[in-house]
Amino acid sequence: MAAGWGGAFGLAGGGLVDPSSNGGLRRVLVFRLGATGALPALQAVERTFPDPMPEVSATPVVLAQGRADYFTHCQVCHGNGVISGSSIPDLRYSAVTMDPAAWRAVMIDGTLAQRGMIAFAEWMTPEQAEGLRQFVLSEAHVWKRQAEAP
C-alpha cells in the first residue's frame, strides 16, 4: 500500500498536506499475516526561509502577470497558492527563487528538464519568466512574514 502525500491531489493541493510531513517520506507498506513489526516514526522536516530574502522589485502590473502565469503554468505541479505538497520543491523556500540567474537557467535553458521540470521558453519570454519569479518571491515574503509574526 502506498502511503504519504503524492499524486495529483497532493501536488496541486499542497496547502492541504499536513505540514509535519513536509518534504516527508512517501512509503510503500507491506503487510504479512502474523507480522509484529512496527513502523519507524515519521520524521518531520523543518523548512526555513532564506534569510535575508531578496526584495521584490517588480511593479504591481508585472506581479499580476506573474500571478496569472503561475496559475496557468505552474500550480498544477508546484501547488495552488504556491504551496507545494513537497513531492517536488516548494518554490517559496527554494534558493532558485532567490536567484534570477538560477531561475532563468531552470525556466528558459531547461537545466532540470531531465528531472521532470521542462523549460518554459516556448511559452514565455525570459522577462516574463523573471516576472513570474518576482511573483513567487512576493509570495515567499508573505509566508516568511507570517512565520516570523509573534
Contact residues: ligand HEC, CB under 6 A: 73-74, 76-78, 88-89, 91, 94, 96, 103, 106-107, 112, 115-117, 120, 132
Count Cα atoms within 13 angstroms, Cβ side, for 36.
0
Helix (H, G, I), strand (E, B) or coil at 84: coil
The distance of closest approach from Cβ of residue 76 to ligand HEC in the complex, given in angstroms and rounded to an integer, is: 5
**Closer to ligand HEC by Cβ: residue 34 or 52:** 52
Of the candidates 132, 141, 136, 148, the one whose C-alpha atom is nearest the C-alpha of residue 69 is: 132
CA distance 21 to 134: 27
CA distance 2 to 14: 18
**Closer to ligand HEC by Cβ: residue 21 or 94:** 94
The distance of closest approach from Cβ of residue 20 to ligand HEC in the complex, given in angstroms and rounded to an integer, is: 21
The distance of closest approach from Cβ of residue 111 to ligand HEC in the complex, given in angstroms and rounded to an integer, is: 9
